[in-house]
Structure 1
Amino acid sequence: MPARRFDRGRVRSVRRAAEIPQADVAKAVGVGDSTVAGWELGSSVPDQEKLPALAKVLKWDLDDLFPREGLPDLKDLRCDAGYYRYEMAEVIGTKSDGPVAGAEQGVRRLKDKYVPALAAKYGVSEAELRRAEDRSIAAAEAKKNGTAGELGTQAGAAADISGPPGSLSEKITLILQRSYPGPQGPPSDAEMAADVNAHAGAEILTADDFADLRTGVTNTASPAVLEALAAVIGVSRMYFEPDETVAAQVYEGLHLLAAAKKGTVGRVRARGLGSQGLSPKMMALVNELAAELEEKEADTGK
């Protein structure tokens, strides 16, 4: 997964606006004054593990000050908690950080006995930790299969909503990232496969099959799989057809949904969507979310 973005100009502006001396930032983060100066000048960048402490001393939310494109993998969870990998050996009770390193690199999964301690240390649930592990493994598989660049491009495009999705992998990635925005992230590959099979009433998809579809290793799926997948995700079956118009319409709905959640639009309305576009039910949900966010912002005085 892409690391959090560090914008030296923004950090400098935030620090100055809050009238916090570089020395105070350095002390809070555990580095020298010259190191902080180097960060703001652009001669160096902080370790990802330092960003939580940096956001805290600047009194900003980590996601707002240092946004990330996409969902976190295992390394991201550790860095977001502010820990270096070598510190994990003590957490899981081993002589080295080998088990954590292997999982972060997607080489092997964590043993069940390590999961509770790591989840507690990272401040996430065990299910969230396992989902992040799935992403680490999927990234390693994509790199092994020579599709890492393609996967990274797809994930970035989905996170930024920079354009309508084209391939089946892009369509799946876009929906998963925009339909499950909470910290827990989208369901795991195994959970998605189970839901598809439950809807179909038969085992037509394995976790590995879904991972291949999601990462672009496999570019096609049977009509039965696509039908069930569309029902599970909550989109029209036509979304998965090679029809750029339909994909663009779904993309527009998700784009407006993301904008609504950021508070940049007040009321979302379907504009010129034909019978093959977003369903009235989906657009109603988008509208309801926008209205709900408006009410919450009014109540909190944001």
Structure 2
Amino acid sequence: MPARHFDRSRLRAVRRAAEIYQAAVGEALGVSDSAVASWENGSQTPDPEKLPALARALGRDVDELFPRSGPPDLTDLRCDAGYYQYETAALIGTKSAGPVAAAERGERRLKDKYVPSLATAYGVGQEELRRAEARSIAKAQGVQADEPSPPETRRAPDLGAPPESLAQKITLLLDSSYPDPQGPPSDAEMADAVNDRAGMQVITEEGFRDLRTGVTETAPPAVLDALAAVVGASRMYFEPDEAVAAQVYEGLQLLAAAKRGAVGRVRARGLGARGLSPKAMALVNELVAELEEKETDTGK
């Protein structure tokens, strides 16, 4: 994610306009006046953790003086709160900053027990902290983090190539199964639904979130069996066989189109250049007929 933009010329201009000496700025930040001079002449750059205090010393808002394009990730939140990474151990009550360091690198999600205290220290809500965490994970994976779409503009996905990873398959399942304006259920709701279907606790909210975001790449059969049942998909969808995955994927395409009112068109052409196999086409025809019957019964 984009770090805050530091402009040495703007820093010098703002300080001079406020008639504040370099020594006074240095004293406010606990650094020497020569350090402040080095920031202004470009020989050094202040640590991002010091930018909020630097803005306060000059009587400016940090977003105004050191703007950042785009939403923050975990590292950005920490720096905005003025904490160095090693200081986070005390914030979450651990011997080292390992949990926070791993989360900032996108390697491992924060345990739920660390979130409240860290969010309080950073001055943000817990949901905002989790969203920043998701951006850190996306950054590590080299992908763009998804931001929630406004309810009035959310639509069923425009499906491209068949998904490959388990995270991609789960995302496609959720988007295809819940195209309504409110979107798919939360991770906690999905975990509860999977556990209810399995008849026992087979996954936690954090565990489901890790599967959905790609932090965890595999899942026990019991989890996949229950998940497939919850969203009404074939268990074959999760198998590594590419041909099987492609068949189920095309079935999902048809069902997503059906929920958008395009059943007839997709059903008639069989989807894609190759189309579905006769057996798979028979299956999805049965599913579509059942869907149409339910819509008729409910008056939709």
| Band of TM-score, shorter chain | 0.5 to 0.7
Aligned to 1:109: 109
CA offsets 1:227-253 (integer angstroms, 9 cap, x no match): 999xxxxxxxxxxxxxxxxxxxxxxxx
1:86 is the counterpart of 2:66: no
Distance 2:259 2:134 in 1: 22
**CA pair 131-55 structure 1, distance change in 2 beyond 3 A:** same
Conserved in 1, the CA contact under 8 Å of 2:176 and 2:255? no
After TM superposition, give the deviation of residue 28 of structure 1 in Å. Answer: 0.8
**Paired letter, 2:122:** Y
Matches within 5 A, 1:205-220: none
- Whether contact under 8 Å (2:81, 2:123) holds in the other structure is yes
Instruction: Letter of the 1:7 partner, please give it.
Output: D
Residue number in structure 1 paired with 2:26: 26
CA distance in structure 1 between the aligned counterparts of 2:147 and 2:66, rounded to whole angstroms: 22
Q: How many equivalent residue pairs?
A: 183
1:198 aligns with: 178
Q: Which amino acid in structure 1 is aligned with residue 35 of structure 2?
A: T
User: One-letter code of the match for 2:67?
Assistant: P
Amino acid at match of 1:22: Q
Secondary structure of 1:64 counterpart: helix
Aligned counterpart, 1:63: 63
Per-residue CA deviation, residues 48-86 of structure 1 (Å, 9 max, x unaligned), is 000000000111111111011211000000000000010
Amino acid at match of 1:87: E
Give me the whole-angstrom Cα distance separating, in 1, the residues matched to 2:126 and 2:74: 12
Contact persistence 1:200–1:228 (CA under 8 A) = no
CA contact (8 A) 1:106 1:138 kept: yes
**How do 1:157-236 and structure 2 match up within 5 A?**
197-200=177-180
Check 1:112–1:210 CA distance in 2 against 1; reply closer, same or farther (3 A cut). closer
Q: Which residue of 1 aligns with 2:221?
A: none
CA–CA distance in 1 between the matches of 2:91 and 2:64? 29
User: In the TM superposition, what is the alpha-carbon distance from 1:2 to its structure 2 partner?
Assistant: 1.6
Aligned to 1:72: 72
Aligned partners of 2:171 and 2:212 also within 8 Å: no
Which residue pairs with 1:130 in the alignment?
Answer: 130
Displacement of 1:211 in angstroms is: 6.4
The change in CA–CA distance for 1:9 and 1:106 in structure 2 (over 3 A counts) is same
Aligned AA (1:51):
L
Amino acid aligned to 1:113: K
- Rounded to whole Å, the distance in 2 between the matches of 1:119 and 1:32 is 31
Question: Alpha-carbon deviations, 1:131-170, whole Å to 9, x = none?
Answer: 100000111111xxxx6xxx5xxxxxxxxxxxxxxxxx9x
- Uncovered stretches (5+) of structure 2, i.e. residues with no partner: 154-167, 188-208, 215-251, 261-300
Q: Which amino acid aligns with 1:140?
A: A
Asked if the contact 1:119/1:126 (under 8 Å) is kept, the reply is yes
Question: Any conservation in 1 of the 2:175–2:184 contact (CA below 8 Å)?
Answer: no
Partner of 1:280: none
* TM-aligned CA distance change 1:95 to 1:49, over 3 Å: same
Structure 1 pair 124–23 and aligned structure 2 pair: CA distance change class (3 A): same
**8 A Cα contact 1:109 1:133, kept in partner:** yes
1:103/1:110 contact within 8 Å kept: yes
Q: 1:232: which partner in 2?
A: none
- Decide whether aligned partners of structure 1 residues 95 and 173 sit closer, same or farther in structure 2, where only a CA change above 3 A counts: closer
SS of residue matched to 2:131: helix
Shift of residue 199 of structure 1? 3.3
Q: Give the aligned CA root-mean-square deviation in angstroms.
A: 3.9
Normalised to the residue count of structure 1, the TM-score between the two structures is 0.52
> Structure 1 residue 11 and structure 2 residue 15: aligned?
no
CA distance in 2, matches of 1:92, 1:197: 38
Deviation at 1:224, TM superposition (A): 7.1
The alpha-carbon deviation at position 198 of structure 1 amounts to 3.5
Structure 1 residues 224 and 46, CA gap change in structure 2 (3 angstroms): farther
Amino acid at match of 1:54: L
- Alpha-carbon contact 2:107-2:140 (below 8 Å) kept: yes
Mark the structure with the bigger radius of gyration.
2
Q: CA deviation at 1:210?
A: 8.5
Identity %: 55
CA distance in 2, matches of 1:30, 1:228: 61
Q: Which runs of 5+ in 1 are unaligned?
A: 152-168, 180-188, 213-220, 230-302
Is contact 1:8-1:40 (8 Å) kept?
A: yes
